[in-house]
Structure 1
């Protein structure tokens, strides 16, 4: 009698139980693809499909030359995103949060700036030729003691850098690059924010320590100059989808007031 081979879904279900039962701690290798293939008596492609399913849930990721590594079980945050921009006298503008402002946050590694071939979102926004080099300021952040929560890239248009050269320096001074742009004649800056879900690039996945199979939120905020209403900066926050839930409080319109007025028959 021939034994039916397990499907990728069945393999994924079994591995999930092993991970949730903490057979291995976060950061430890559960097994290699070859070992899992032998253990479940299935093809390696079946194991890879199973691992991709679990990676999309944020449970594991496949690491070259190591195998299937157990991911940190991060605390999911429910974030109420508002529309009001405020200002802190010590460090400048404060935007609608992607985190609890009472928590202490830290930077992973050293924030850095560089001239990079800008992605399509940036070149299109700034009306530049594809592949144009644009100033990028990059940082990876998280609550203290937790794995990376968000990758933040701020792209500043070449014209804006020419107006306010200090935005390209390591230290942009009190109030940061936004204050320098406004002082150069672009204030008061106004902003528009667009949120979408997409898959991470290999570089983003590496910096955020996630699998490429795990979708991410992309929150792209564009700043517009008061001088001519042209975009001068784009800040892109990339957040793993297992880290956060976006929450909005709905408001009743006039037509939805309660109690409901009785309808008079015609």
Structure 2
């Protein structure tokens, strides 16, 4: 039997990947334009494009309108042991399970953004309001210091909660942050539920996180519920490129799975 032949687009992708790795095409540089690259390689335009798209799906490059394919920074993958414990720092307030390591400095990319914007359907459903209702959103893009954007975080606060605690709409919410202000307004203790899913990014997310449209993202949604009304009052949606994090959970044995296995008594 003969070995199957490697498709031309795959061989080209492998060759360009090696050139990215050895620095021929450094981070931030554009790959050669498709037409001249195809002519130089003696292949069709579509074959060359398939090679570039394969690299895009790996997170090595991204397509930029009127520029071509840009080489991306290569962020390290972060292994995160999932926990369900919410801790508290006297200075920073509540700390949720995330990719941060103890005492690791993080930076903000651009300026944090807060404004009244139309609530998407998922957020509106949690708050019991009509989709498109003007709702306070606090947005920030952050990463470990010196690394490219790691996560996009949107915190939505219900209109009713903003009426109770108008400080949450201010740039500086004081010690403990917006959650402390909500609890001080009578909603404490807030309870939380987290949902995790994978999906493809939208155009705005690819721009803010500097990723390709072919890179899946991990989305975690934390819904905070008021102890006073038993209704959700804040929804925080965190988006992380899938190539930058892996989630690890430690499994526990129930009593029925204890070892050594208890002998089965004959009937």
TM-score grouping bracket, smaller chain normalisation: over 0.9
Aligned twin of 2:179: 178
Please list every run of 5 or more consecutive structure 2 residues that lacks an aligned counterpart in the other structure.
none
What is the CA distance between 1:252 and its match in structure 2? 1.1
CA–CA distance in 2 between the matches of 1:251 and 1:234? Answer: 29
What is the CA distance between 1:105 and its match in structure 2? 0.5
Following TM superposition, where does structure 1 have runs of at least 4 consecutive aligned residues deviating by more than 6 angstroms? none
CA–CA distance in 1 between the matches of 2:161 and 2:32? Answer: 50
CA–CA distance in 1 between the matches of 2:148 and 2:251? Answer: 32
Residue 51 of structure 1 contacts residue 62 of structure 1 at CA under 8 Å; is this kept in 2?
no
Please list every run of 5 or more consecutive structure 1 residues that lacks an aligned counterpart in the other structure.
none
Aligned twin of 2:251: 250
- Mapping of residues 21-100 of structure 1, within 5 Å: 21-100=22-101
- Mapping of residues 96-245 of structure 1, within 5 Å: 96-245=97-246
CA–CA distance in 1 between the matches of 2:182 and 2:212? Answer: 37
Relative to the length of structure 1, the TM-score reads: 0.92
What is the CA distance between 1:5 and its match in structure 2? 11
Residue 81 of structure 1 contacts residue 98 of structure 1 at CA under 8 Å; is this kept in 2?
no
- Give the secondary structure class of the aligned counterpart of 1:16: helix
- Give the secondary structure class of the aligned counterpart of 1:172: coil
Could you give the per-residue CA deviations for residues 171-227 of structure 1, whole angstroms, max 9, x where no partner exists?
111111111111111111000000111111111111111111101110110100001
Could you give the per-residue CA deviations for residues 115-142 of structure 1, whole angstroms, max 9, x where no partner exists?
1122222112112222222111011100
Q: Which moved more, 1:130-139 or 1:214-223?
A: 130-139
CA–CA distance in 2 between the matches of 1:172 and 1:131? Answer: 26
Could you give the per-residue CA deviations for residues 85-115 of structure 1, whole angstroms, max 9, x where no partner exists?
1111112111112221331101111112011
Number of residue pairs matched? 263
CA–CA distance in 2 between the matches of 1:157 and 1:48? Answer: 45
CA 1:257–1:6: 2 relative to 1, 3 Å: closer
- Give the secondary structure class of the aligned counterpart of 2:251: coil
CA 1:161–1:45: 2 relative to 1, 3 Å: farther
CA–CA distance in 1 between the matches of 2:233 and 2:117? Answer: 16
What is the CA distance between 1:23 and its match in structure 2? 1.8
Relative to the length of structure 2, the TM-score reads: 0.92
1:13 aligns with 2:14: yes
Residue 116 of structure 1 contacts residue 133 of structure 1 at CA under 8 Å; is this kept in 2?
yes
| RMSD, aligned CA | 1.8
What is the CA distance between 1:15 and its match in structure 2? 2.3
